[in-house]
Structure 1
Amino acid sequence: MKLRIEDDTLRLRLSDGEVQEFAQNGRVESAVHFGLNPEQRLTYALERGSEPAQTLPNVEPVQVHYEPGALTVLVPFALAKAWVETDQNGFSHDLPLAENQHLRILVEKDLDCRH
């Protein structure tokens, strides 16, 4: 899974195999290691919500959970299901933050070039 972070944009691109893993398990995870110690890494993941999840009022449909060393993008079940079961290439969401800021989240299938 590729991770791209630029300004207030977070982009995940999944290979065909990773999309299938996400469809089966509801989660796909990768890591970047920055040193010799196991703590010196950033783990990033895409995770699907539970099935009968109704979006509650004032709750964003796509969410991000961050703690030092771990970043998880949380996607509602229905959105994840539609994305993996169709030819829909990706989806995006603008997550409101404090003080009129927002985080743009993009999740895409990383399609192979077919020439």
Structure 2
Amino acid sequence: MKLRIEDNSLRLRLSEAEVHQFAETGRVAAVVPLGPAATDALTYALERVETEHFRVSYGAGAITVKVPATLANQWTTTDQNGLSATLLLTDTQSLKVLIEKDLDCRH
């Protein structure tokens, strides 16, 4: 899974195997080690949740994008390539979230 953070946007791109894992388990995650200790890492994950809205949580070295189950199920079982949402964080600040299938990815 690839993570791209740019300005006020967060983008996840999943390989075919990761899309299948997400469809089966409701979660896929990756870990980037940033130092020698196990706590010196960034974990980023995609989770299927029983809510109506996209959410993003951050804490303890982890970013988790939470996708409503109905949207996640439709995305994993059709040719639909992506999901997107714009989350209003404050009155003047938003975060655009994009989740895409990276089906040409072979690594």
TM-score over 0.5 for the alignment? yes
Runs of 4+, deviation exceeding 4 Å: none
Counterpart mapping for 1:97-108 below 5 A: 97-108=89-100
Which structure has more strand as a fraction of its residues? 2
Residue 90 of structure 1 deviates from its aligned partner by 0.3
Distance 2:83 2:48 in 1: 14
Q: Which structure 1 residue ranges, 5 or more long, are not aligned?
A: 56-60
Identity %, equivalent residues: 54
What's the secondary structure of 1:79's corresponding residue?
A: helix
Distance 1:99 1:40 in 2: 33
Matched, 1:40 2:32: no
Output the amino acid matched with 1:75.
V
Output the amino acid matched with 1:101.
Q
Matched with 2:7 is: 7
Bigger-Rg structure (1/2): 1
Matched, 1:79 2:76: no
TM-score by length of 1: 0.87
Matched with 1:95 is: 87
Deviations 1:17-76 (A, max 9, x none): 0000000000000011111111110000000013xx5x3xxxxx1100110301100001
TM-score by length of 2: 0.94
Distance 2:55 2:103 in 1: 24
What's the secondary structure of 1:44's corresponding residue?
A: strand
Give me the CA root mean square deviation: 1.1
Aligned pair count reads: 105
Counterpart mapping for 1:11-26 below 5 A: 11-26=11-26
